[in-house]
């Protein structure tokens, strides 16, 4: 987890000295949850839970009779079981349910095997496929999952079943981790980077190296040359967009196209990807960051129905 930044304030006696004033976590993504309206908890036949323990965030999603009902997102800690438990506890507080009322739980994400209360673990690729199918509809065929640690290009059929996929997990560039590094460097909240990438006079060239370490060094060099923070942000967003677009070009983009993961909320990345590929991503009324956990909850619903039918 990136370290917090310390702000300094001047003193009258000796110019500026280092005084810890407050902690600013520029890298921190939005946390919290939501309960959807019109959910009949008490009359439900099946209440299932999906837990996605990722490298940056952990999501818990509740489905009632196969429909999205509530979700909760937290920062992933050093301990995967503890993160899974915390995500679930936050969701239970939101809904007023107890763990005994949840009939089946599926874990997914990098920490899926460390969800102590899950009956089954399913890969995040399969879960994102099913989650995107629910969010975007049966016409979705290509998914770009931009997570904290990797990017995936995924093909699914009309039922949400994965037919092909391609992954980049060799470098943090093009991922949430990479964006956090740049946010910390520039002292700009990571949630504001997308909008600020368009607050420029013209599109700058992309940073020449997508490796986060070298991109950070290049960003620092551009700042010393007089570039504004927004121009540096736009340059990095362009580089990220080109990197993940190259991944999609390798697997091929079949209509319709849907984007999941935390970076899917970054309009600066999404619009540039659309521009490079010449394809518009489908919009969704749902929070696309929870697609993996939603898919896990839907898998749990399918498994529960199969179990009950004998």
Q: Does an H or E element contain 107, and which?
A: strand 104-108
Same domain, 173 and 229: yes
Q: Which residues span the domain enclosing 248?
A: 164-277
* Residue 271: inside a domain: yes
**pLDDT confidence of 9, banded at 50, 70, 90?**
very low
First to last CA, the chain: 45
> 145 in a domain, yes or no?
no
Q: Does residue 174 register a pLDDT over 80?
A: no
Q: Model confidence over 95-108: pLDDT tens digits?
A: 999 999 999 999 99
Kindly report which listed range (9-23, 25-39, 164-178, 214-228) carries the lowest average pLDDT score: 9-23
Identify whether residues 112 and 214 lie together within a single domain: no
Q: Specify if 185 maps to a domain.
A: yes
Closest C-alpha among 143, 141, 135, 145 to residue 284? 135
Indicate whether 92 and 171 sit together in one domain.
Answer: no
List pLDDT tens digits, range 257-269.
999 998 999 999 9
- Most trustworthy range by pLDDT among 4-18, 168-182, 205-219, 237-251: 237-251
From residue 115, alpha-carbon distances to 34, 150, 298 in Å are 22, 21, 17
Q: What is the pLDDT of residue 15?
A: 44
Residues 175 and 268 in one domain: yes
Considering the domain architecture, whether residues 292 and 244 belong to the same structural domain is answered as no
Q: Residue 152 CB: number of other CB atoms within 10 A?
A: 24
pLDDT at 8 over 50: no
Q: What is the mean pLDDT of residues 116-137?
A: 98
pLDDT band at 176, cuts 50/70/90? confident
- What is the model's pLDDT at position 209? 64
Residue 6, in any domain of the structure: no
One domain for residues 106 and 199: no
Which has more confidence, 231 or 262? 231
pLDDT tens for 193-223 read 999 999 999 999 998 766 778 888 999 999 9
Whether residue 302 sits in one domain with residue 272: no
Asked if residue 80 belongs to a domain, the reply is yes
In a domain? residue 234: yes
Q: What is the pLDDT of residue 123?
A: 97
Which of 299, 305, 284 is CA-nearest to residue 61?
299
Whether the Cβ atoms of residue 188 and residue 196 lie closer than 8 Å to each other = yes
Residue 82 has a pLDDT of 98
Domain count, the chain: 2
| Confidence (pLDDT) at 213 | 80
Identify the CATH number of the domain in which residue 227 sits.
Answer: 3.30.420.40
Res 16 pLDDT > 70: no
Work out the pLDDT band at 170, boundaries 50, 70, 90. low
Domain membership of residue 152 (yes or no) is: no
Pair 112, 173 in one domain: no
Same domain? For 296 and 260 the reply is no
Query: What gap in Å lies between CA 89 and CA 71, rounded to an integer?
Result: 11
Distance CA 295, CA 143 (A): 13
Q: Look at 236 and 39; give whichever has higher pLDDT.
A: 236
Nearest CA to 233 among 272, 179, 273? 179
| Nearest of 113, 57, 115, 56 to residue 84 by alpha carbon | 115
The pTM assigned to this predicted structure is 0.89
Residue 211 domain-assigned (yes or no): yes
CA distances from residue 121 to 159, 166, 219, 224, 282 in whole angstroms, order as listed: 20, 21, 40, 48, 28
Q: Could you tell me if 40 and 118 lie in one domain?
A: yes
238 and 170 co-located in one domain? yes
What residue has token string 């209360």?
Answer: 117
Contact by Cβ (8 Å): 187, 24? yes
């Amino acid at each position: 987890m990136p370290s917090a930044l310390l702000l300094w304030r001047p003193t009258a006696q000796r110019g500026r000295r280092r005084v810890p004033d407050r902690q600013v976590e520029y890298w921190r993504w939005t946390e919290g949850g939501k309960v959807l309206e019109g959910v009949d908890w008490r009359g439900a036949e099946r209440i299932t839970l999906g837990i996605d323990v990722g490298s940056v965030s952990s999501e818990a999603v509740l489905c009632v009779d196969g429909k999205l009902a509530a979700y909760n997102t937290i920062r992933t800690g050093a301990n995967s079981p503890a993160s899974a438990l915390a995500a679930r506890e936050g969701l239970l507080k939101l809904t007023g349910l107890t763990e005994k009322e949840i009939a089946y739980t599926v874990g997914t994400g990098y920490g899926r095997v460390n969800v102590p209360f899950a009956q089954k673990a399913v890969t995040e690729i399969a879960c994102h496929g099913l989650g995107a199918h629910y969010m975007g509809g049966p016409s979705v065929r290509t998914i770009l999952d931009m997570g904290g640690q990797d990017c995936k290009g995924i093909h699914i059929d009309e039922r949400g079943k994965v037919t092909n996929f391609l992954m980049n997990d060799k470098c943090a560039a093009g991922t949430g981790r990479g964006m956090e590094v740049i946010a910390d460097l520039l002292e700009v909240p990571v949630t504001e980077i997308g909008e600020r990438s368009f607050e420029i006079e013209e599109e700058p060239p992309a940073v020449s190296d997508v490796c986060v370490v070298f991109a950070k060094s290049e960003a620092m060099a551009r700042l010393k040359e007089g570039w504004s923070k927004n121009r540096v942000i736009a340059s990095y967003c362009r580089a990220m967009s080109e990197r993940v677009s190259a991944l999609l070009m390798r697997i091929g983009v079949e209509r319709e196209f849907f984007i999941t993961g935390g970076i899917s909320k970054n309009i600066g990345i999404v619009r540039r990807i659309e521009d490079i590929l010449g394809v518009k991503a489908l919009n969704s009324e749902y929070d696309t960051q929870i697609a993996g956990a939603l898919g896990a909850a839907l898998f749990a619903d399918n498994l529960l129905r199969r179990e009950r039918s004998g």
